Amino acid sequence: MSRVYNFSAGPSCLPEEVLKECAEEMLDYNGTGQSVMEMSHRSKAYKPIIEHAEAQVRKLMKVPENYKVLFLQGGGSTQFAMVAQNLGIHTGKAAYIQTGVWAKKAAQEAKHLGLTVDIIASSEDKNYSYIPKVEKIEGDYDYAYICFNNTIMGTHYEYIPDTGKIPLVADISSCVLSEELDVSKFGLLFAGAQKNLAPAGVTLVIIREDLITDTPRQGTPTMMCYKTHSDAASMYNTPPCYTIYVLAKVLDWIEKKGGVQAIHKLNVEKADWLYNYLDSSSYYHATAEKGSRSLMNVPFLTKETDAEKAKVINDKFVAEAAKAGLVNLAGHRLVGGMRASIYNAMTLEGVKALTAFMDKFAKENF
Ligand SMILES: *Cc1c(COP(=O)(O)O)cnc(C)c1O
């Protein structure tokens, strides 16, 4: 067996220790003679698993008492709608900061559902290569919305906008548990699991209790109400049981590593290594501006400026990297170039292997 260094943006690499444990327990979980995949979600064996997952989210993210932790389905994309349907209920107005593909999709969904959407800032002018500075958000908005880490563009907020009494909603799909975050500054946080938490299939939602409404927008399906899932402790219907089981193991792994602070330190080390390399290279450069750079997703280009030639060299880079055991380095189909996603489970050795390959490739091709 040989494992590769996997730089996929999502679904992405998981800690090897976690995968091994899952494999060991595959046929017989904890003496039950069953796989967790085969169990009733209401069984005695399963209940402690989902409870432990929630307890670990609370502990590691220091979730205040007055917030609910929910395990939902439908990915980050479904949250674009749920947020609008459940929070957009007083003035029907929401403020969005547009920092890339995911933020734009979220705003479009709110508009589609009949909300009045104000794009109060955007970095579209420079191909989303930076995070606009919006220190304060004011107005009669039901909520303000940001995408905290922009997976495709490789940008990340280095500040949290002050929204006063307006609930702040943040999509943290690609940076959840990569750094410490003050949950109390937000009304609602959500993250699709497949970037930094678990396999695809579960979406983590952390919501302040007063935002869980009995009266969502008219026509909101039962499954799209936070209240439905909150009242049933994420067991209204069958939850993605196996994914939650893996999630709990990933959270235990983070704790064993020393918790979020320790993971963050490692992430800074990895990202610094890669950005320092890119900034000092005459062959490659990062596309995200300093001061807005993601620790998790690092898009980069080569010095080739001719579009046709760049495409050829990029394809060659991605193919040769894969042969060298460094996989999934193609940039997002909408932006091209390359992108290295270096989530929690990526090791510093993996990042060093990448820069060593980049050096070799540059010598052979430029
Ligand atoms: C991947 C991603 C999404 C979409 O998630 P799905 O689970 O595929 O719906 C949304 N927001 C961000 C920031 C993402 O990285």
Across residues 347-356, what is the average pLDDT? 98
Check if 243 has its Cβ closer than 6 Å to any atom of ligand 1: no
Question: For position 306, what pLDDT does the model report?
Answer: 94
**8 Å CB contact between 267 and 32:** no
Percentage, residues of the chain above pLDDT 90: 98
- For atom 12 of ligand 1, which residue has the closest CA? 173
From 174, 175, 196, mutation site for ligand 1 pocket: most ligand atoms within 8 A of C-beta: 174
pLDDT at 198 over 90: yes
Nearest residue to 296 (alpha-carbon basis) of 169, 98, 152, 193: 152
Catalytic residues: 102, 171, 195
**8 Å CB contact between 326 and 3:** no
The two tokens of residue 210 are 């007063």
- Ligand 1, atom nearest to 102 Cα: 11
Check if 278 has its Cβ closer than 6 Å to any atom of ligand 1: no
What is the pTM assigned to this prediction?
0.98
- For atom 5 of ligand 1, which residue has the closest CA? 76
Q: Give residue 199 CA to ligand 1 midpoint distance, Å.
A: 13
Handedness of CA 224, 12, 107, 131 (dihedral sign): positive
Check if 240 has its Cβ closer than 6 Å to any atom of ligand 1: no
- For atom 13 of ligand 1, which residue has the closest CA? 173
Across residues 173-185, what is the average pLDDT? 98
Q: Give residue 6 CA to ligand 1 midpoint distance, Å.
A: 18
Q: Give residue 9 CA to ligand 1 midpoint distance, Å.
A: 10
Question: For position 336, what pLDDT does the model report?
Answer: 86
- For atom 14 of ligand 1, which residue has the closest CA? 173
Across residues 92-102, what is the average pLDDT? 98
Q: What is the pLDDT of residues 118-127, one digit of tens each?
A: 999 999 999 9
Check if 201 has its Cβ closer than 6 Å to any atom of ligand 1: no
Can you give the length of the chain in residues?
Answer: 366
Q: Give residue 148 CA to ligand 1 midpoint distance, Å.
A: 12
Q: What is the pLDDT of residues 307-327, one digit of tens each?
A: 999 999 999 999 999 999 999
Nearest residue to 362 (alpha-carbon basis) of 291, 293, 285: 285
pLDDT at 17 over 90: yes
Q: 181 φ, ψ to 5°?
A: -140, 135
Helix (H, G, I), strand (E, B) or coil at 299: strand
pLDDT at 1 over 80: no
Question: For position 347, what pLDDT does the model report?
Answer: 97
Check if 192 has its Cβ closer than 6 Å to any atom of ligand 1: yes
At residue 334 the predicted structure's pLDDT band, cuts being 50, 70 and 90, is: confident
Across residues 289-316, what is the average pLDDT? 96
Q: Give residue 202 CA to ligand 1 midpoint distance, Å.
A: 12
Across residues 97-118, what is the average pLDDT? 98
DSSP codes of every residue in 178-230: SS---GGG-SEEEEETTTTTSSTT-EEEEEEGGG--S--STT--GGG-HHHHH
Across residues 210-215, what is the average pLDDT? 98
At residue 335 the predicted structure's pLDDT band, cuts being 50, 70 and 90, is: confident
Question: For position 154, what pLDDT does the model report?
Answer: 98
Q: What is the pLDDT of residues 246-278, one digit of tens each?
A: 999 999 999 999 999 999 999 999 999 999 999
Mean pLDDT for all residues in the chain: 97
Check if 179 has its Cβ closer than 6 Å to any atom of ligand 1: no
Across residues 175-197, what is the average pLDDT? 98
Question: For position 193, what pLDDT does the model report?
Answer: 97
At residue 62 the predicted structure's pLDDT band, cuts being 50, 70 and 90, is: very high
At residue 34 the predicted structure's pLDDT band, cuts being 50, 70 and 90, is: very high
At residue 144 the predicted structure's pLDDT band, cuts being 50, 70 and 90, is: very high
